[in-house]
């Protein structure tokens, strides 16, 4: 009978793990997007072009 309880306990753990991983992935992607936007803005300022590659009007 103890073997029947083990799968129930394990069934809850993967869903909690998946939720943690999903949240960590979402935070990581947001951080990477922010870094990419900051890098694009820095490059645009250095070259005098906008983030989309068009020239800025100064």
pLDDT per residue as tens digits for the range 3-21: 555 555 555 667 999 999 9
Q: How many domains does the chain have?
A: 1
Q: Which two tokens stand for residue 36?
A: 């990419």
Is residue 40 within 8 Å of residue 51, measured between CB atoms?
yes
Query: Is 46 inside any structural domain?
Result: no
Query: Is 3 inside any structural domain?
Result: yes
Query: Is 49 inside any structural domain?
Result: no
Query: Is 2 inside any structural domain?
Result: yes
Domain of residue 27, residue span: 1-40
Query: Is 53 inside any structural domain?
Result: no
pTM: 0.53
pLDDT band at 49 (very low <50, low <70, confident <90, very high): low
How far is CA 58 from each of CA 6, 47, 54, 55, rounded to the nearest angstrom?
A: 68, 13, 12, 9
């Amino acid at each position: 009978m103890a073997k029947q309880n083990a799968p129930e306990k394990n069934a809850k753990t993967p869903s909690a793990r998946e939720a943690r991983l999903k949240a960590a992935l979402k935070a990581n992607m947001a951080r990477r997007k922010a870094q990419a936007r900051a890098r694009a803005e820095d490059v645009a300022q250095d070259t005098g072009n906008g983030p989309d590659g068009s020239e800025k009007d100064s």
